[in-house]
Amino acid sequence: MSARLRVNPITCDAHGLCAELLPELIRLDDWGYPIIDQPEVPPELLALARRAADACPTLALLLEQRES
Asked if residue 58 binds another protein (CB under 8 A), the reply is no
Fill in the DSSP letter of residue 32: S
Question: Under a CB-based contact definition with an 8 Å cutoff, are residues 64 and 3 in contact?
Answer: yes
Nearer CB in complex with another protein: 30/44: 30
Nearer CB in complex with another protein: 47/62: 62
Question: Under a CB-based contact definition with an 8 Å cutoff, are residues 36 and 6 in contact?
Answer: yes
Asked if residue 11 binds another protein (CB under 8 A), the reply is yes
Q: Which residues bind another protein (CB under 8 A)?
A: 7-14, 29-33, 35
